[in-house]
């Protein structure tokens, strides 16, 4: 995938149509997502912003195939992932998830973690997978930490290794669920730069859930603001700041304007969510 291609020509287009998800804990129906539709073009960085517990993660889990949807359909490059006849998508390496709390296997070294995907999918032999994993980690600046366990490295490094573990499978879509939530501002900045660099290199579609509005605008091509539970698309803000972006971008006039626009839309929902006081769903 070359960066010269226009976004619309790239693979990894997600089409979310009228998706509804109803949870049924203890006999009481809870609507987490209600008739939510979104079109995400291939190679687009799509940021999902909304109040805590609004059902953003539910949407991501439906795409990844971690649970079923009640109504609607989700297509990836015009192929059905899940829909009325097939409520739960098959899990697969075309959609790689980077988890909120990090899910590198703590019992495998960074290199073993990265090599795991190609090894079990048998796209590479065990040895080739290890050497490719080593190369890719080195490329991400983790060359000195190949034999370390995730518990021995900083959260920033672990998160970076997790993204490498996802990318080694050549996914069409990278699904990130607030991956930098617990990080300090300085580490976040480094993580953002490295994610943008990865994006510029691979052109993978990115579906990124966040609470951080500045992060959303800095990274995204589009920012989708969703309502408080049940989750619906409220507003889409296009970010027309040219790439490559650097941290100076954040002090530009355009950036500030976009931030104000997004903030206004989100704030309303945040107030509603706070007053409802509902607990986050898994």
Partner 1 sequence: MSASSQATNGQNKIAKPQGFDLLIYRVKKYFGRLDPYLTILGIGLWLFTYWVLCEGLQVWRFTKLPGPVAVSKDWFSTTPFQGISIFTAEYYDHIAVSCRRILIAFGIATALGVPLGLFMGWSRSIRDYIFPLIEVLRPIPILAWVPLSILLLPGFEWPVLFLATLASFFVTTLNAMLGVDSIDEEYFRAAGCLGSSRWDVFMNVVVPGALPFIFTGLQISIGVAWFSLVAAEMVSGDLGLGYLIVDAYMNNVTVPMVIAMITLGFIGYFSSALVRMLGNKLMAWHVKELNQQGR
Q: How far apart are CA 32 and CA 231, in angstroms?
A: 6
Q: Binding to partner 1 by residue 143, rule CB under 8 A?
A: yes
Q: Binding to partner 1 by residue 107, rule CB under 8 A?
A: yes
Q: Binding to partner 1 by residue 59, rule CB under 8 A?
A: no
Q: For partner 1, which is the closer residue by CB, 125 or 143?
A: 143
Which of 3, 101, 256, 267 is the binder for partner 1 (CB under 8 A)? 101
Q: Binding to partner 1 by residue 116, rule CB under 8 A?
A: yes
* Dihedral sign (CA 143, 147, 149, 152): negative
Which of 92, 124, 155, 270 is the binder for partner 1 (CB under 8 A)? 92
- At residue 38, the 3 state secondary structure works out as strand
Nearest distance in Å: CB 86, partner 1: 17
| Tokens linked to 39 | 């079109």
| DSSP letters for 173-221 | EEEEESTTTTS-HHHHHHHHHHHHHHHHHH--EEEEEES-HHHHHHH-S
- Pairing of the two strands 14-23 and 71-76: antiparallel
Q: Binding to partner 1 by residue 151, rule CB under 8 A?
A: yes
b/e sequence 20-29, b meaning 16+ C-beta within 10 Å: bbebeeeeee
Alpha helices (H) in the chain, listed in sequence order: 56-64, 110-121, 126-139, 155-167, 185-202, 213-219, 253-276
Q: Binding to partner 1 by residue 95, rule CB under 8 A?
A: yes
Nearest distance in Å: CB 195, partner 1: 14
Stretch that binds partner 1, among 6-14, 43-51, 148-156, 228-236 (CB under 8 A): 148-156
| Tokens linked to 260 | 């104000």
Stretch that binds partner 1, among 101-109, 212-220, 227-235, 237-245 (CB under 8 A): 101-109
Which of 1, 22, 71, 99 is the binder for partner 1 (CB under 8 A)? 99
| Tokens linked to 59 | 């949407």
Q: Binding to partner 1 by residue 158, rule CB under 8 A?
A: no
Q: Contact positions toward partner 1, by CB under 8 A? A: 64-66, 91-93, 95-97, 99, 101, 103-108, 116-117, 120-121, 141, 143-145, 149, 151-152, 165, 169
């Amino acid at each position: 995938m070359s960066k010269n291609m226009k976004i619309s020509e790239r693979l990894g287009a997600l089409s979310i149509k009228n998706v509804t998800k109803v949870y049924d804990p203890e006999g009481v129906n809870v609507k987490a997502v209600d008739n939510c539709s979104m079109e995400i073009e291939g190679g687009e960085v799509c940021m999902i912003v909304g109040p805590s517990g609004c059902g953003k993660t539910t949407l991501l889990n439906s795409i990844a195939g971690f649970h079923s949807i009640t109504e609607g359909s989700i297509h990836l490059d015009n192929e059905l992932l899940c829909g009325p006849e097939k409520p739960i998508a098959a899990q697969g390496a075309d959609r790689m998830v980077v988890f909120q709390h990090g899910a590198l296997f703590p019992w495998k070294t960074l290199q073993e973690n990265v090599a795991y995907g190609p090894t079990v999918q048998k796209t590479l032999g065990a040895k080739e997978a290890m050497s490719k994993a080593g190369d890719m980690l080195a490329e991400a600046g983790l060359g000195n930490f190949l034999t370390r366990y995730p518990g021995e490295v900083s959260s920033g490094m672990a998160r970076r290794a997790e993204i490498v573990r996802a990318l080694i499978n050549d996914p069409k879509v990278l699904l990130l669920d607030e991956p930098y939530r617990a990080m300090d501002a300085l580490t976040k900045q480094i993580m953002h730069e490295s994610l943008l660099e990865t994006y510029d290199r691979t052109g993978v579609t990115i579906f990124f859930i966040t609470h951080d509005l500045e992060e959303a605008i800095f990274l995204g091509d589009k920012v989708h603001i969703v309502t408080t539970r049940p989750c619906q698309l409220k507003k889409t803000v296009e970010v027309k700041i040219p790439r490559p972006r650097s941290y100076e971008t954040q002090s530009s006039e355009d950036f500030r304007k976009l931030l104000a626009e997004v903030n206004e839309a989100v704030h309303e929902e945040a107030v509603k969510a706070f007053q409802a006081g509902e607990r986050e769903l898994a």
